[in-house]
């Protein structure tokens, strides 16, 4: 009998020495977000993550790996894309502080709290097609596109760099206090 998505996720937790029953909230959250995944390709993606990751992957890693595991139509080329860097997913940055979480809309003058990247939708390029069912297509936030153009790079790289930069600055700030 074919595996269920829950079984696959549970197995992934076991593979990283985490008991899925004590982490049941997290397992449930993974399963909820993965509702659109075909268990056959999900298994391939999870196997790949087990083989290549040192720590329990984040849901985002599963999603990206899943996209790579889905067989593409032979005619469907990977489209070079400066927004999603061929991942097919549009990310942005959220900030979490004591008062809650919110999306940020530009360079932070004085970083504080914790920053994390978040999938807000699929990219409008060809690479986004495999995610369309789970993530409606969205535009990349303008400030990120502008910054990427200024820096001569793609939007996802800007997001990743900004994410680690803000977290480092925020940590430094906290140590000073
Ligand atoms: Zn794209």
At 42 the pLDDT is 94
CA of 81 to the centre of ligand 1 (A): 5
Q: How far is CA 67 from CA 63, 98, 114, 132, 140, in A?
A: 6, 34, 28, 11, 19
At 118 the pLDDT is 87
Compute the radius of gyration of the chain from its Cα atoms: 18
CA of 86 to the centre of ligand 1 (A): 5
At 57 the pLDDT is 95
Contact 90, 138 (CB under 8 A): yes
CA of 169 to the centre of ligand 1 (A): 29
- To the nearest whole number, what is the mean pLDDT of the chain? 90
Residue with tokens 């595996």: 3
CA of 82 to the centre of ligand 1 (A): 7
At 49 the pLDDT is 96
**Nearest residue to 103 (alpha-carbon basis) of 114, 113, 92:** 92
The structure's pTM equals 0.69
Q: Look at residue 109 and tell me whether its pLDDT is greater than 90.
A: no
Parse the chain into domains and list their residue ranges.
Answer: 5-69, 89-176
CA of 131 to the centre of ligand 1 (A): 11
The 10s digit of each residue's pLDDT in 23-36 is 999 999 999 999 88
Query: 12: pLDDT confidence band, cut at 50, 70 and 90?
Result: very high
CA of 79 to the centre of ligand 1 (A): 7
The 10s digit of each residue's pLDDT in 61-105 is 999 899 888 876 655 667 899 999 988 999 999 999 888 999 999
């Amino acid at each position: 009998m074919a595996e269920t998505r829950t079984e696959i996720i549970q197995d992934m937790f076991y593979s990283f020495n985490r008991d899925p029953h004590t982490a049941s909230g997290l397992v449930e959250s993974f399963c909820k977000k993965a509702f659109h995944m075909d268990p056959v390709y999900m298994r391939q993606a999870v196997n790949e993550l087990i083989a290549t990751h040192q720590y329990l992957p984040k849901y985002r890693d599963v999603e990206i790996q899943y996209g790579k595991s889905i067989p593409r139509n032979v005619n469907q080329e990977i489209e070079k894309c400066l927004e999603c860097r061929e991942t097919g997913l549009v990310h942005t940055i959220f900030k979490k502080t004591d008062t809650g979480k919110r999306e940020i809309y530009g360079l932070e003058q004085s970083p504080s709290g914790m920053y994390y990247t978040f999938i807000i939708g699929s990219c409008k390029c060809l690479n986004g097609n495999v995610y369309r069912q789970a993530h409606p297509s969205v535009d990349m936030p303008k400030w990120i596109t502008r910054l990427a153009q200024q820096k001569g790079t793609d939007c996802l790289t800007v997001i990743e760099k900004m994410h680690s930069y803000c977290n480092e600055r925020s940590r430094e700030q906290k140590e000073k206090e």
